[in-house]
Amino acid sequence: MPKNAKKPQASPDLSVDIGPLKLKNPVLAASGVFGYGLELQGFCPPEALGAVITKGLSLTPWPGNPGPRIVESGFGLINAIGLENVGLDAFLENSLGPLKRAGAVVGANVLGRSPEDYVELTSRLAQSQVDFIELNVSCPNLRHPGGLSFGSDPKLLASITKDCVKAAGDKPIVTKLPPLVTDIVALAKIAEDNGATAVSLINSLPALSIDLDTRRANLAVGPGGLSGPPIKPLALRQVALCARALSIPVIGLGGIMDYRDALEFIVAGATAVQIGTGILVDPGLPIRLIGDVYHWLGENGLADLGQIRGSLKL
């Protein structure tokens, strides 16, 4: 072995803690790209991931926007699904039981038209087997109040987080923050001060795709949310700022397409990562990524992710 070579680590530990949650690895399926947890199990068994996060759930089923709802844009994707979902009851009846029997850690992503909707969704989920609740107060493409309009308003962000923490009992609340705000750290601190167990960021960015020939927007409703590789640099910046300022865990996402992207988020200070658009491109990506992170740690002589977390030199 060369003199300066790092001694390989036999079996690195990939487990991470998000407050009271013990996850076997730091790789989570993001909301909106993994159905309700079971749909992609042929490619990616949900129990093999750190956790799966459901498509955003509302109190009653939502039809979503008319199509086209997704368009490629450069190296990214713009979507305006409009939060189409089966509603909380259908998820609880059809998906949660099989997911838990398979041994998956399950996060329910929730979204409402009013602060009261978030609290009611959370109280109902508090009685269920879900492991944590992610508050989507950052969706950029709603045509009614909710999403981004709640998460970027400090007072609403504070009251929704606080009331949901209370309603959740001992279930952790993860507040998913909007990316394009003047002061992301101020918002993240509001979530922390109001009892969130962790914050996740970033959601997709407000964006527009235009067809020059027709002079029309490519999505039926006009604007949508940009995701994938183009948003990674912004996501890394927001995650790095929040991780330095907060005491609670930061879950990073935005444009992760391979294990090196994921590890960059850990270096920026993230405790865990979520994969969104990458799963739409390759549903087997999370499983490969977990293996690649494991091997990278081993080859670099590292026992766990704690040895690189927040190691960013500025």
Please list the active-site residues. 139
| Residue number, 32 or 283, with CB nearest to ligand FMN | 32
- Min dist CB 77 to ligand FMN, Å, is 6
Q: Does 33 bind ligand FMN (CB under 6 A)?
A: yes
| Residue number, 109 or 194, with CB nearest to ligand FMN | 109
Give the closest residue to 197 by CA, choosing from 274, 132, 245, 292.
132
From candidates 203, 218, 238, 271, binder to ligand FMN by CB under 6 A: 203
Instruction: Specify the stretch interacting with ligand FMN by CB under 6 A; choose among 59-67, 166-174, 224-232, 282-290.
Output: 224-232
Give the closest residue to 202 by CA, choosing from 240, 153, 162.
240
- Min dist CB 116 to ligand FMN, Å, is 19
Q: Does 256 bind ligand FMN (CB under 6 A)?
A: yes
- Min dist CB 2 to ligand FMN, Å, is 37
| Residue number, 12 or 286, with CB nearest to ligand FMN | 286
226, 205 contact by CB (below 8 A): yes
R_g over Cα of the chain: 19
Q: Does 58 bind ligand FMN (CB under 6 A)?
A: no
List the structure tokens of 230.
Answer: 């183009």
From candidates 82, 115, 276, 283, binder to ligand FMN by CB under 6 A: 276
Give the start-end residues of each E strand in 94-253.
106-110, 132-136, 173-176, 198-201, 205-207, 210-211, 216-217, 224-227, 250-252
List the structure tokens of 236.
Answer: 């890394």
Rounded Cα distance, 189 and 246, in Å = 7
From candidates 14, 23, 31, 262, binder to ligand FMN by CB under 6 A: 31
Q: Which residues have C-beta within 8 Å of that of residue 119, sequence separation ≥ 6? A: 160, 163, 164, 167
How many residues sit in the footprint of ligand FMN (CB under 6 A)? 27
Q: Which amino acid is present at 176?
A: K
| Residue number, 65 or 109, with CB nearest to ligand FMN | 109
Helices H, strands E: what count in the chain? 10, 16
| Residue number, 167 or 275, with CB nearest to ligand FMN | 275
Q: Does 107 bind ligand FMN (CB under 6 A)?
A: no
- Min dist CB 43 to ligand FMN, Å, is 16
Burial class (CB in 10 A: 0-12, 13-18, 19+), 78: buried
Q: Does 32 bind ligand FMN (CB under 6 A)?
A: yes
From candidates 194, 204, 209, 271, binder to ligand FMN by CB under 6 A: 204
Q: Does 161 bind ligand FMN (CB under 6 A)?
A: no
List the structure tokens of 117.
Answer: 């909707």
Q: Which amino acid is present at 187?
A: L
| Contacting positions for ligand FMN (CB under 6 A) | 30-33, 55-56, 77, 79, 81, 83, 109, 136, 139, 176, 203-204, 227-228, 231, 253-256, 275-278
